[in-house]
Chains A and B, each alone.
Chain A
Amino acid sequence: MHPILILVLQRLGLGLLLLLAASALIFGLTEILPGDAAQAILGQAATEENLANLRAEMGLDRPAITRYFEWLGGILTGDMGTALTNKLPIGDQIARRMSSTLFLAFWAAIISVPLAILLGLIAVRYQNRWPDKLISGITLASISLPEFMIAYILVFFFAVKLFWAPSFASVSPGMPLLDQLHAISLPVAVLTMVVLAHMMRMTRAAILNVMQSAYIETAELKGLTTFKVIYRHAFPNAIAPIVNVVMINLAYLVVGVVVVEVVFAYPGMGQYLVDAVVKRDVPVVLACGVIFAAVYILLNIVADVVSILANPRLRHPK
């Protein structure tokens, strides 16, 4: 077997292990802390007897480790249990909301990734000149504000003052695509701004790192045009770090989505999770938490695998 394949498989195996550990951590965090689902349902005033009865009914009296594996098995087979608050199956809710969230994240990614790479390239091209400084200034400003602040500033100006876009992102299944896009234009803009800054900055650093290599100088001293230097020599080496940057930032979108959905009352996973936290609906929190964590971890694994695959030393071993 090619050594690089072994490395990739190792990385994937480690990733699966990490996923398992992460699910155990999330489950464990809701276990070791005081208070459980029964307490949450009955409230502080509940008697010990009532609590014990409910615990027995819900199976909470069995050892945590048993319940963890049951829960894990459920998640893997798509059975995520029922919500405490409305007794509805969590799986159905998540399936519906997941597609909404992915719709939002998809458009944010479609806009922010090319934009970030383009702006990163511009920053490199005009390094230390005004376009670079302007871009880093905007970066500084946008990482200094929480997502919901950016959201309200945009709502205040574009929805309330200018009436360009709705301040609530209500999307229904039958809506034409264009209307849907109009409805989510502001949340997409916010998510774009949030990840754009980081992505741009990291892209800039990755490209600069490559452009300062000695082999770029060699290429320039061969009399190649700037385009050829970039296309033939910089690009093959920059692609892996850039993909890495993109993946890390898409993972970052996962967090941004939670807040942005709440601001725009968008019926996605993020809002579901926050609602559940406020209502102390632990099964829902567990299910959502584990899905968010899994997406985050998977994107990071993809980033690692791309780095391995793109490394010429690993691809062509001695």
Chain B
Amino acid sequence: MTTPLLKVRGLKIGATVYPPGEKPHDIEIVHGVDFDVEPGKVLGLIGESGAGKSTIGLATMAYGRGGVTLTGGTVEVNGRDVRQAPLKDIRNLRGAEVTYVSQSAAASFNPAKQIMEQVIEAAVGQGKFTKQEAQKRAVELFTKLGLPDPDTIGNRYPHQVSGGQLQRCMTALALCPEPDLVVFDEPTTALDVTTQIDVLKAIKDAIRDTGVAALYITHDLAVVAQVSDHIMVLRMGQMVEYGTTDQIINNPQEEYTQALVSVRSIEHAEKQPTEPVLRVKNITARYKGTNFDVLHDVSVDISPGQTLAVVGESGSGKSTLARVITGLLPPRDGKITFAGRTLTPDQPSRSLEDLRELQMIYQMADTAMNPRQTVGTIIGRPLEFYFGLKGAEKQKRIQELLDEIELGTGFQDRYPAELSGGQKQRVCIARALAAKPKLIICDEVTSALDPLVADGILKLLLNLQKIEDVAYLFITHDLATVKAISDSIAVMYQGRVQRYGTKSEVLTPPYDDYTDLLLSSVPEMKLGWLEDVIANRKMESAGN
């Protein structure tokens, strides 16, 4: 057995928190974690937000954000404990033996300096290479990572290249000093799905070709399955399960891991279209003060009690479509029919009934609820506003709605700040249901949530659809969600409906090139998936 490059034993990490109105105090966020990384191997760290995975990643460089400090255990890199090492040794380790790739390359590059200068800074500063050698190596890495114009891209400033490219530059920055270990902290999370797999592939090839070891941190098990040799599942600062990638994906032992692996395994039988409740016909729209259309001739139908998923990447026009339907952005051309009535283009002129029957749920539940109103007020207002309910009658209905969203008693008097992310989204659902709508527009309602929480919300929405017979217009970039809940699908690309039909029609080949790219880009929890996809692609992602 080889000696581990990184050996972590009993690692405990603490932080000082400053809750407003209370005295600052110390809490423990990682409670004793053990793992090894052998030379040239990749360990995936996976967990939900708050699991402590980024904190552990940074701990390998003896770095703590804010008030975070290593409080116990050992972190040995190349046989030396960085927790006890003097600052000088730690500086020699950072940027030489261990390097770091962050989630947001856009923020992690200094806006005032050229990319090349930043990429070679650690390699030169640590005395590993001369400036010329480092620059040569950087160009090689740019080439390997598939960046355009590898010879000159280093002369550009960070804001002059795209997000996907900058993330590759950050990888080059980390690999340039020939480190022993690279910490990848959610390197593809901020990217569009079709860009993500290209970057993922580039990172994977670079790891393989340079023989570097890596810690790959992500919340997405399907992503980590593509790049890592071993996986450690973390939850609330503790290890849940550790094993080879094959074992974790195909034979998870712990209940929590099983839940993570089987997430989005919702079964939903597709319904056949009937007389539509909402009919969007030939909509063309542009934003005020611009001179180009963001929607071109868009037509879709939604049947009562069914779900239409509108799927696309950022900039595809899917959220604009929602704004047009709600009347916030009157279209330049086209017609919308709702429950047999023609909707006026602008929201203020719509009848109360139109407004009531068409409700909306937002991506960020945080900003969708007035922080100064209690849950009772938030859910109660539509009851009062649309149905004139008051007093005991209103309270009774509020309680019914709270039961429907599985929150139960005791939530009426709470403020949004006192709820968890999933609970907040449930309250928003209850507010929409309170109006007894025929259609709810769901705008990326699960994308800000952890997978298991999102799963719960989707199940709730499907359940409510059966009970209330409400239709959903489900806007999302996440194809796994689409497959789980939709009856029909509209794929949007650059403001146009690229492909439209029932779920089975849309998801059955032959595909057009874009749909193929989009569908194939959704990471699957299958070993070797990444290579297959890249080999079989017909179209390049726009993000490159």
Q: Do A and B come from one complex?
A: yes
Chain A hits for B95, CB < 8 A:
221-224
The 3 closest A-B pairs by CB, nearest first: A223-B94, A222-B95, A223-B95
Q: A213-B107, A237-B110, A312-B157 are in contact. List 19 more A-B contacts (CB 8 A).
A: A215-B107, A215-B110, A218-B110, A221-B63, A221-B100, A222-B95, A222-B122, A222-B125, A223-B90, A223-B94, A223-B95, A224-B121, A224-B125, A233-B110, A236-B112, A237-B111, A312-B112, A316-B157, A316-B160
Q: Is B498 an interface residue (CB 8 A)?
A: no
Q: Is A44 an interface residue (CB 8 A)?
A: no
Asked if A318 is at the interface (CB within 8 A of a chain B CB), the reply is yes
A228 within 8 A of B: yes
Q: Which of A293-318 contact B (CB under 8 A)?
A: 312-313, 316, 318
Residue pairs across A and B with CB atoms within 8 Å: the count is 78
On chain B, the residues within 8 Å of A222 by CB distance are 94-95, 99, 121-122, 125-126
Query: Does A92 belong to the interface (CB within 8 Å)?
Result: no
Known contacts A214-B102, A313-B159, A221 near B94 by CB under 8 Å: yes
A218 is contacted by which of B100, B112, B156 (Cβ under 8 Å)?
B100
Contact call B108/A223, Cβ cutoff below 8 A: no
**8 Å CB contact of B159 from A214, A221, A228, A312:** A312
Q: Tell me, yes or no, whether B282 is within 8 Å of chain A by CB.
A: no
Bound complex: CA of A218 vs CA of B102, how far in Å?
8
Contact present for A217 and B157 (CB under 8 Å)? no
In the assembled complex, the Cα of A71 lies from the Cα of B65 at a distance in Å of 61
- What residues of chain A lie closer than 8 Å to B96, measured between beta carbons? 223
Closest to B90 in A: A223
Let me know if B262 is at the binding interface, CB within 8 A. Answer: no
CB-based nearest B residue for A221: B100
| Residues on A facing B (Cβ under 8 Å) | 213-215, 217-225, 228, 232-233, 236-237, 312-313, 316, 318
1/0 contact trace for B98-128 toward A, CB 8 Å?
0110101001111111000010011001100
Selected contact of A228 from candidates B92, B100, B125, CB within 8 Å: B125
Asked whether B365 is an interface residue with its Cβ less than 8 Å from the other chain, the reply is no
B94 close to A220 (CB less than 8 A): yes
Interface flags for B60-102 (1: CB within 8 Å of A; 0: not) read 0101010000000000000000000000001111111001101
Known: A222-B95, A223-B93. A318 touches B110 (CB 8 A): no
Q: Which residues of B contact A (CB under 8 A)?
A: 61, 63, 65, 90-96, 99-100, 102, 104, 107-113, 118, 121-122, 125-126, 156-157, 159-160, 173
Of the listed residues B65, B121, B126, the one surrounded by the most CB atoms of chain A closer than 10 A to its CB is B121
Cβ–Cβ < 8 Å partners of A313 in chain B? 111, 157, 159
CB-CB under 8 A from B110, the residues of chain A are: 215, 218-219, 233, 236-237
> How far does the Cβ of B149 sit from chain A's closest Cβ, in whole Å?
14
B159 touches A224 (CB 8 A): no
Does the CB pair B122–A215 fall under 8 Å?
no
State the Cβ distance, B111 to closest chain A Cβ, in Å: 5
Complex Cα distance, B99 from A105, in Å, reads 50
Q: Which residues of A contact B94 (CB under 8 A)?
A: 220-223
Least distance between B145 CB and chain A CB atoms (Å) = 18
- Among residues of A, the one whose C-beta sits closest to the C-beta of B161 is A318
Bound CA span A237–B97, Å: 28
Hey, which chain B residues are within 8 Å of A223, CB to CB?
90-96, 122, 125-126
| Structural contact, A318 and B102, CB atoms closer than 8 A | no
A217's contact among B65, B93, B122, by CB below 8 Å, is which? Answer: B65
- The answer to whether A221 and B61 touch across the interface, beta carbons within 8 angstroms, is yes
* Measured CA separation A217–B94 after assembly (Å): 11
Q: Which residue of B lies closest to A224 (CB)?
A: B125
Complexed CA–CA distance, A218 and B90 (Å): 15
Q: Across the two chains, which residue of chain B brings its CB closest to A216?
A: B110
Q: Enumerate 23 A-B pairs (CB-CB under 8 Å) in ascending A order.
A: A214-B104, A214-B108, A217-B63, A217-B108, A218-B102, A218-B109, A220-B63, A221-B100, A222-B95, A222-B99, A222-B121, A222-B122, A222-B125, A223-B90, A223-B94, A223-B122, A223-B125, A224-B121, A233-B110, A236-B110, A312-B111, A312-B159, A316-B157
- Give CA–CA (A213, B102) in the complex, Å: 13
**In-complex Cβ contact of A318 among B63, B65, B159 (8 A):** B159
| Bound: A96/B447 CA distance, A | 68
Given A215-B109, A318-B159, CB of A225 within 8 Å of CB of B65: no
A207 vs chain B, min Cβ distance (A) = 15
Tell me the bound Cα distance from A316 to B111 in angstroms: 10
Distance between Cα atoms of A316 and B104 in the complex (Å): 21
In the bound complex, how far is the Cα of B94 from the Cα of A215, in angstroms?
15
**How far is A71 from B61 in the complex, measured between Cα atoms in Å?**
69
Report A240 CB to chain B, min CB distance, Å: 9
- With a CB–CB cut-off of 8 A, which chain A residues contact B159? 312-313, 316, 318
Report B263 CB to chain A, min CB distance, Å.
30
Nearest Cβ distance between residue A312 and chain B, in whole angstroms? 5
Q: Which residue of the partner chain A has the closest CB to B111?
A: A312
B331 smallest CB distance to A (angstroms): 31
A236 and B91 contact, CB distance less than 8 A: no
Cα-based distance from A298 to B193 in the complex (angstroms): 49
